[in-house]
Amino acid sequence: MSFFRQIKKGDYLVAAGVLLLVGGLLLANRLFLGLTPAGGEAFVEVDNQFVMDVSLLEGAPRYVTVTLPRGEAVLEVEEGKVRVLPMPREICPLNICSSVGWIDRPGQAIVCLPNRMIITVSGEEEDPLDLDGVTN
């Protein structure tokens, strides 16, 4: 209880100022960095073979069907982003590819191992913080 007796009105003002600053920065990040789609298109490969490229810059939401060795995958495409919709267990047993969710930045990828499908977002500039790799 003695800790709260030492707090003064100025301390509350400083804490409120810090909270407002952090909230403002988070809001600005969400508003200004999330508006423009960075990726221009998504490349789809199945079994190491290029299958199609899908434009991410078209505005209307749409669905694209990809033929796989075990069946079909459906991609949901919205302005600037793409994701894989859940598939039946016979086609993709764990549905990890659909649990990845939306990808929208250059260098991001969705991989479906059972079907050997890779969806990669391409664009002019890749974010170096999104890269993942292995070195020898």
CA 11 to chain centre: 39
Residue 60 shares a structural domain with residue 109: yes
Name the residue range of residue 108's domain: 41-130
Q: How many beta carbons lie within 10 A of that of residue 42, not counting itself?
A: 25
| Cα gap 106→100, rounded to integer Å | 15
Q: What is the pLDDT of residue 36?
A: 46
Are 50 and 27 spatial neighbours (Cβ–Cβ below 8 Å)?
no
Are 77 and 65 spatial neighbours (Cβ–Cβ below 8 Å)?
no
Residue 22 shares a structural domain with residue 53: no
Q: What is the pLDDT of residue 131?
A: 54
Q: What is the pLDDT of residue 9?
A: 78
Residue 70 shares a structural domain with residue 54: yes
pLDDT, tens only, 20-40: 888 888 777 766 655 444 568
pLDDT, tens only, 66-86: 999 889 999 999 888 999 999
Task: Report yes or no on 46 lying in a domain.
Answer: yes
Residue 80 shares a structural domain with residue 62: yes
pLDDT, tens only, 82-125: 999 999 999 889 999 999 999 988 889 999 999 999 999 987 65
| Cα gap 131→108, rounded to integer Å | 8
Q: What is the pLDDT of residue 58?
A: 75
The pTM assigned to this predicted structure is: 0.63
Residue 23 shares a structural domain with residue 69: no
Task: Report yes or no on 12 lying in a domain.
Answer: yes
Task: Report yes or no on 118 lying in a domain.
Answer: yes
Residue 53 pLDDT > 60, yes or no?
Answer: yes
Residue 91 shares a structural domain with residue 112: yes
Q: How many domains does the chain have?
A: 2
> Which is more confident, 129 or 70?
70
Task: Name which of 118, 116, 115, 88 is nearest 100 in CA terms.
Answer: 118
Task: Report yes or no on 135 lying in a domain.
Answer: no
